[in-house]
Amino acid sequence: MADNALAQIDRANASGRTPVVFIHGLWLLPSSWDRWATVFEEAGYAPVLPGWPDDPDTVEQASAHPEVFAGKSVGQVADHYSALVGRLTRKPALVGHSFGGLLAQIVAGRGLAAATVAIDAAPFRGVLPLPVSALRAAAPVLSNPLNYRRAVALTYDQFRYAFANTVDEDEARRLHREFAVPASGMPLFQAATANINPRTEARADYRNPDRGPMLIVSGERDNTAPPAITNAIYRKQKLNPGVTETTTMPGRGHALVIDHGWREVCDVSLDFIKRWS
């Protein structure tokens, strides 16, 4: 674990506050949650923003060393976050976006979360819909089997379709410049094959009674994790004996946690966590 993550954990433990662990997805860094962390801290929580293993600190460093993202699997990253959560003295709330939303559900399914918000989450085994838009969004990776062990960056046009389809051109270019980094290809292949691989790492224990309350958030116009996927995730998670809720953010795309409307999604997440943690 990076020293910065360990320092955040120490601060959270020393604060006596309920920790909130933010889990980013592919093509973003922990800094994508910085504004959210400020809101949650002001609301009385202890935010923790760890990266995936070997994440660089900045977009500039990521562009200079894209190879550090390669070869990260869903199982490896889920174990990384589970170990981190295990260092906290209080059970945390989890907030995850995209593949971070899948990871949050995996960690919650291990009984490690006080409450969970999964935003435009990637699918896990048992989630069957595979819309054309999701396949197109993943095509920069899935179109080449060699990308399984590579780090793959999105061009502006690819980012525009997968993340920033609901904002104007100026904002889309700014988001790509300020937030987009290369990403491991492996998780996308794992998610795409989860329903034909009985040993897949892309699975969440949605029946565990210790999973904790969960909110599934969907962006109405998300191309990468469209509502068909998010609704199917909700139907699976609803089988849990605990609280499971869902909400749709009208007119929002996959960049809903970083674009100009991020605060609306942040407030929805905070309100849920306030009720259940």
Is CATH 3.40.50.1820 the right assignment for the domain spanning 3-276? yes
pLDDT at 1 exceeding the cut of 70 = no
Domain ranges of the chain: 3-276
| 263: three-class secondary structure by DSSP | helix
pLDDT at 161 exceeding the cut of 60 = yes
Q: Which two tokens stand for residue 79?
A: 């174990």
Whole-number Å distance between alpha carbons of 11 and 34: 16
| 2: three-class secondary structure by DSSP | coil
The pLDDT value recorded for residue 184 is 98
pLDDT at 3 exceeding the cut of 80 = no
Q: Which two tokens stand for residue 184?
A: 């491991």
Q: Which two tokens stand for residue 212?
A: 């904790």
DSSP string of 65-123? Answer: -GGGGTT--HHHHHHHHHHHHTT-SSPPEEEEETHHHHHHHHHHHTT--SEEEEESPPP
Would you give the distance in Å from CA 269 to the centre of its chain?
Answer: 13
DSSP string of 179-235? Answer: H---EESHHHHHHHTGGG-TT-S----TT-TTS--EEEEEETT-SSS-HHHHHHHHH
The pLDDT value recorded for residue 95 is 99
* CA quadruple 12, 16, 18, 21: dihedral, nearest 10: 10
Counted residue by residue, the chain has a size of 277
The pLDDT value recorded for residue 189 is 98
For residue range 70-120, list pLDDT tens digits in order.
999 999 999 999 999 999 999 999 999 999 999 999 999 999 999 999 999
Would you tell me how many other CB atoms lie within 10 Å of the CB of residue 113?
A: 24
The pLDDT value recorded for residue 277 is 85
* Number of continuous H segments (helices) and E segments (strands) in the chain: 11, 8
User: Is the separation of the CB atoms in 105 and 237 below 8 Å?
Assistant: yes
Query: Which region, left, alpha or beta, applies to residue 7 given φ > 0 means left and ψ of -120 to 50 means alpha?
Result: alpha
For residue range 176-224, list pLDDT tens digits in order.
999 999 999 999 999 999 999 999 999 999 999 999 999 999 999 999 9
pTM given for the model: 0.97
Q: How far is CA 136 from each of CA 120, 153, 225, 272, rounded to the nearest angstrom? A: 16, 15, 11, 32
Q: How far is CA 31 from each of CA 23, 62, 210, 242, rounded to the nearest angstrom? A: 11, 12, 30, 31
Phi–psi pair at 200, nearest 5 degrees: -60, 145
